[in-house]
Structure 1
Amino acid sequence: MATTAAGDRYLTLDTVRGVAVLGILLLNIIAFSMPAPAYMNPAAYGGAQGADLAVWLGNFILFDSKMRGLFSFLFGASTLLVIDRATAKGESPGRVHYARMIWLLVFGLLHLWLVWWGDILSNYALMGMIAFFFRGARIKTLLIVGCILLGVQFLVASSLVLVSGMAQAMPDSPEWREAALALERGFGQPPQQWLAEDVALHRDGWWSLTTEQFRETSFAPIAGVFQYGWETLAYMLFGMAAFRNGMLAGRWERRRYWRWVAIGFGIGIAAYGTLALWIIGSGFEMTRVIAGTMVLTVPLRPLMIMGWASLIILLLRPGGLLTSRLAAAGRMAFTNYLATSLICTFIFYGWGLGWYGELSRAEVYLVVFGVWALILLWSKPWLERFAYGPLEWLWRSLARGRPQTMAGGVLVKA
């Protein structure tokens, strides 16, 4: 196939990215459909028994933060790919990269303030600006720096456990009481009155919700750099290393991929399963939820992310129906990610159908499967006619300072 304006494509990168953009919704659907603490603590809202508990358990062990991490891996790999192509064309890699990141930040802020509070694009843009300085680093350096960043993330997350413990030890202190309330609304089981107010707000009109959302999240991108940016950047660097050594490009021997599947899932499932039983045994007590989901999982996630990436690459079939659909979804990940937010906020928020807080944890997955079907059905036909997804085209055109051609036809490398 001939190369066009869209440039060469790597089937492995597109397919892994496609799985990641679909997989992220497995977790984000909880944040779309019910109060924020339900994301980490099923006892807070949505159900923590029977099918609801089973859904939480499956997500926690297999998908929670792994899909986001996989997406971050791909972001790092794609960053190198863009830089390499710009260099090969005689363009300034710095200008191309930072133009992309600045416009991604703009999209992310609009998404955060006008659509949904769970945006990750703004954090990706900010950490991507830092990742550029590692474009020429050796694979060993990328891995070492990434591990150091994960160490910092572990310490930052551990501070939440310390704050939780101090707040419980000094309940009469106004400062610690306020800290406890903040943690409770993220990881604990808030009072019914607070939950009812949150549900009422999200079922209200767009203006009242957006005004409150902007008040709550106006400085969230800056806070996010210090709260979880370390881990995001670490995953980007790991993704760069995985692209440089051929892993994400599909160049490893199959037995090497199978080895990582065995390592990632073997260690990860056993460890996550143990943590899940520890959390459940406490009745989803807040400190255990924080420790079990935010702290002790930090060294485990990269192993499972590598396991997932390896498994997807092993299972993809060039020319296969599902592979081609997933690859198309991955090529349009930016469009599909933002379209998912618009669809889900329409379904759950008051400016749309207003289903917020109505469905149980298990029931919301009917929405997930519907959104997946839409993404898989529309991405491939669109890309058979056009070189980019609609928002990919807009992003590229803004970053390049001129409208890009939408002619179709892309060279795909297996």
Structure 2
Amino acid sequence: MQNLTIKRIEQIDALRGFALFGIIMTHMFEGYLASMTPPQYLGFNIVYPLDRFAQVVIQNLFVGKFYAIFSMLFGLSFYLILDQKKGSSSLKFIWRLVLLFLIGFIHHIHYRGDFLTVYAVFGFALIFFRKVPDKIILILGLFLAFNGPSMVTNSISLLQKSRQETVQIIKETKNIAFNNSENNPVTQANAYFDLILKGEYRKLLVSNSTTGFYNKYNYLKFSGRLWVIPGLFLLGLWIGRKKWHEKIDKIPLVKIISISALIGIPLTIVSYYFSKPTNTEIIHYVGSIAKDASNIFMPLLYIVIFLYFFKLSSTNKIVSQLIPVGKMGLTTYVLQSAFGIFIFYGLGLGLLLQLSGTVALGLGFVFFIIQILFCKWWFSKYRFGPLEWLWRSGTNGRWQSFKITEIQKIE
């Protein structure tokens, strides 16, 4: 029975490590910009023909996919931490989220693409679903994960043609004044891009701790992640309630792979072709629905394929290398941001406008391999990752045992 528990935890950690691989590859290709690219710098990472291909791959097979896996695992972790332990205190979990927000805040003021603060804020909502019936959690989780609220509002907007035309006239009337305003997104993007290139540390901290949070909220709202992330949390909670993580051997992985591929791949293709700027508004609308749906089915496809490889004896040893990375997920994620800032920002090497997207992907891949080796070495000596240890110690209100003793090594 003990071996089954260890295996279950290893699968979760390995999946988390897999998600972190996709996250660093996405952010490396984007130059760890986490902001709108100014018009004059569009395509700054497209240097070689191969970069154009890499862009298509990243935008369609990476963006929105791996963070979805990470988000579902967060909801599952909520179940494992709070609901699986008898007598667990909601207040303790809230304190844990407060500490996560503080860690995320420090991370955010250096890299505004941080999602730790977002997870901490949305994580509070999970407390209210602790005793909600499974059926409601599943229905609401699916509605939010598929970006249902945005779909509803976009549908209403399409039906109100006359109102849209009126709004458009008003926008065009104010266009000149808006372009000269400091609130213009292009103006803000230029200012932030300039901060990154110049490496003005103090100004960067001020910008990220003020405008950065406002821009993050706007991005969450515009992209639909304001709804999608809580939905993914709820789906992860539902998976925990159903104890799928304990019954992986009984899950028909091959069947789910076939179904998710038959649905997810066509949706991704539709999203790609329907999202082009030259398309009409209605085609864009269909493309946005396809994109939101593909961001559910493709992560599902990735998860079941990964679990299938984890299950096979011939590939288990390879995918198991991701276990230490996932076990040290918080530290791994923050170190990835530190690496990206060092490579691209003026604070470090300042290579944002000098690296092609493909070269950046290569650097990200090499650094991730280094992280695998580092995490494997680290856990041969220590019980927790550095940030995980601080987080756990703060949560429990006392310093946790850090080093592995000789007895623990033997066990």
Fold-level match, TM-score > 0.5?
yes
Q: Could you tell me which residue of structure 2 aligns to residue 389 of structure 1?
A: 385
- Cα distance in 2 between the residues matched to 1:26 and 1:312: 17
- Cα distance in 1 between the residues matched to 2:125 and 2:212: 22
Is the contact between residue 75 and residue 233 of structure 2 (CA under 8 Å) also seen in structure 1? Answer: yes
Q: Could you tell me which residue of structure 2 aligns to residue 242 of structure 1?
A: 239
- Cα distance in 1 between the residues matched to 2:172 and 2:81: 54
Counterpart residue identity of residue 63, structure 1: F
Determine helix, strand or coil for the equivalent of 1:136.
coil
Q: Could you tell me which residue of structure 1 aligns to residue 124 of structure 2?
A: 129
- Cα distance in 1 between the residues matched to 2:108 and 2:280: 27
- Range moving further from structure 2, 58-67 or 243-252: 243-252
Displacement of 1:263 in angstroms is 2.0
Q: Could you tell me which residue of structure 2 aligns to residue 54 of structure 1?
A: 53
Counterpart residue identity of residue 248, structure 1: H
Corresponding position: 1:365 with 2:364: no
Residues 294 and 323 of structure 1, relative CA distance in 2, 3 Å threshold:
same
Q: Could you tell me which residue of structure 2 aligns to residue 217 of structure 1?
A: 212
- Of 301, 309, 332, the residue aligned with 1:315 is 309
Corresponding position: 1:174 with 2:174: yes
Displacement of 1:9 in angstroms is 6.2
Displacement of 1:166 in angstroms is 7.5
Displacement of 1:370 in angstroms is 1.9
Q: Could you tell me which residue of structure 2 aligns to residue 253 of structure 1?
A: 250
Gaps of 5+ in 1: none
- Cα distance in 1 between the residues matched to 2:280 and 2:33: 18
Is the contact between residue 199 and residue 357 of structure 1 (CA under 8 Å) also seen in structure 2? Answer: no
Counterpart residue identity of residue 375, structure 1: Q
Q: Could you tell me which residue of structure 1 aligns to residue 230 of structure 2?
A: 233
Aligned ranges for residues 277-288 of structure 1 at < 5 Å?
277-280=273-276, 282=277
Displacement of 1:57 in angstroms is 1.6
- Cα distance in 1 between the residues matched to 2:65 and 2:207: 30
- Cα distance in 2 between the residues matched to 1:265 and 1:181: 46
Give aligned pairs, total: 396
Residues 305 and 119 of structure 1, relative CA distance in 2, 3 Å threshold:
same
- 1:174-232 CA-to-partner distances (Å, cap 9, x unmatched) read 279749999995xxxx6xx9877654321222122222333312445666775523211
Is the contact between residue 35 and residue 198 of structure 1 (CA under 8 Å) also seen in structure 2? Answer: no
Displacement of 1:371 in angstroms is 1.8
Counterpart residue identity of residue 203, structure 1: L
Is the contact between residue 48 and residue 356 of structure 2 (CA under 8 Å) also seen in structure 1? Answer: no
Corresponding position: 1:352 with 2:348: yes
Displacement of 1:108 in angstroms is 1.2
Corresponding position: 1:327 with 2:317: no
- Cα distance in 1 between the residues matched to 2:76 and 2:197: 39
Corresponding position: 1:120 with 2:119: no
Is the contact between residue 270 and residue 287 of structure 2 (CA under 8 Å) also seen in structure 1? Answer: no
Q: Could you tell me which residue of structure 1 aligns to residue 24 of structure 2?
A: 25
The structure in which a higher percent of residues are helix is: 2
Corresponding position: 1:10 with 2:22: no
Is the contact between residue 32 and residue 348 of structure 1 (CA under 8 Å) also seen in structure 2? Answer: yes
- Cα distance in 1 between the residues matched to 2:395 and 2:263: 42
- 1:322-365 CA-to-partner distances (Å, cap 9, x unmatched) read 23320111110000001111111011111111112222222211
- Range moving further from structure 2, 155-164 or 10-19: 155-164
Residues 30 and 395 of structure 1, relative CA distance in 2, 3 Å threshold:
same
Displacement of 1:244 in angstroms is 2.5
- 1:386-410 CA-to-partner distances (Å, cap 9, x unmatched) read 1111100001111111111124459
Determine helix, strand or coil for the equivalent of 1:32.
coil
- Range moving further from structure 2, 329-338 or 316-325: 316-325
Counterpart residue identity of residue 120, structure 1: F
Q: Could you tell me which residue of structure 2 aligns to residue 79 of structure 1?
A: 78
Corresponding position: 1:272 with 2:271: no
Higher radius of gyration, 1 or 2: 2
- Of 90, 94, 98, the residue aligned with 2:90 is 94
Is the contact between residue 13 and residue 323 of structure 2 (CA under 8 Å) also seen in structure 1? Answer: yes
Q: Could you tell me which residue of structure 1 aligns to residue 336 of structure 2?
A: 340
Between 1 and 2, higher relative CO (CA 8 Å, sep ≥ 6) is seen in 1
- Cα distance in 1 between the residues matched to 2:235 and 2:397: 31
CA RMSD of aligned residues (A): 4.0
Q: Could you tell me which residue of structure 1 aligns to residue 135 of structure 2?
A: 140
Corresponding position: 1:201 with 2:200: no
TM-score (normalizing by structure 1): 0.81
Counterpart residue identity of residue 147, structure 1: L
Determine helix, strand or coil for the equivalent of 1:173.
helix
- Cα distance in 2 between the residues matched to 1:184 and 1:258: 49
- Cα distance in 1 between the residues matched to 2:367 and 2:204: 23
- 1:140-179 CA-to-partner distances (Å, cap 9, x unmatched) read 2221111232311434677999999887655532279749
- Cα distance in 2 between the residues matched to 1:182 and 1:77: 42
- Cα distance in 2 between the residues matched to 1:374 and 1:165: 54
State, as a whole percentage, how many aligned pairs show the same letter: 22
Is the contact between residue 331 and residue 387 of structure 2 (CA under 8 Å) also seen in structure 1? Answer: yes
TM-score (normalizing by structure 2): 0.82
Counterpart residue identity of residue 83, structure 2: D
Determine helix, strand or coil for the equivalent of 2:45.
coil
Residues 68 and 116 of structure 1, relative CA distance in 2, 3 Å threshold:
same
